[in-house]
Amino acid sequence: MWRELFLRIVRTLEAFDLYFQMWRDRTGRLGLSPLTKCTVALRQLAYGTTMDMFEEYLHIGDLTGRECQSNFCQVVVEAFSTTYMRKPNATDCPFLLDMHERVHGFPRMLGSIDCMHWE
C-alpha cells in the first residue's frame, strides 16, 4: 500500500472515531498511536493471520490486536462507505467493463471472483 494512502486512512479514522485517537491512561502513560492500531489491523487483514504473528514485533497483546482489527473494519465502512464502498452506477459499469477487458483480456466480467460459471 502506498504510504500516502495509508496515512490518509489513518488520519480519516483518527478524525472519525475516538478509538483511533491517542489517549493517556489513568496512570498518565500514552496508549497506542493511531498508526500502530491501523498497522496491526491491516497486517492481520493483509496476511490473513492471527495476532500471534505480530505480537512480539508490534508489542501488542492478542485481545488488543483483535480489538484493533474489529474497530478498524467497522470504522472503515462507516467512514468510507458513502464515497468508495458503493455499488457501481450506470456510468461506472461500462467504464469498469471496458477497463477490465483491456487489462485482463476477459470481456463482460464485472464483480466475479472466480470464473467457474463462465463458459
Q: How confident is the model at residue 115 (pLDDT cuts 50, 70, 90)?
A: low
- Please determine, for residue 3, whether its predicted confidence score (pLDDT) is greater than 60: yes
Quote the CA–CA distance of 22 and 54 in Å, as a whole number.
Answer: 21
What's the pLDDT tens digit per position in 80-113?
Answer: 988 887 777 888 888 888 888 888 787 777 766 5
Residue 37 is predicted with a pLDDT of 93
Residue 20 is predicted with a pLDDT of 94
Residue 14 is predicted with a pLDDT of 96
Cβ burial, residue 66 (10 Å; 0-12/13-18/19+): middle
Residue the block writes with cell 492478542: 62
Residue 8 is predicted with a pLDDT of 96
**Residue 30, strand partner residues:** 24
What's the pLDDT tens digit per position in 28-81?
Answer: 999 899 999 999 999 889 888 777 777 777 778 888 889 999 999 999 999 998
CB proximity list for 51: less than 8 A, separation 6 or greater: 40, 44, 60, 61, 62, 64, 65, 66, 69
Quote the CA–CA distance of 68 and 64 in Å, as a whole number.
Answer: 6
The domains of the chain are located at: 3-80, 87-119
Residue 74 is predicted with a pLDDT of 96
Residue 91 is predicted with a pLDDT of 86
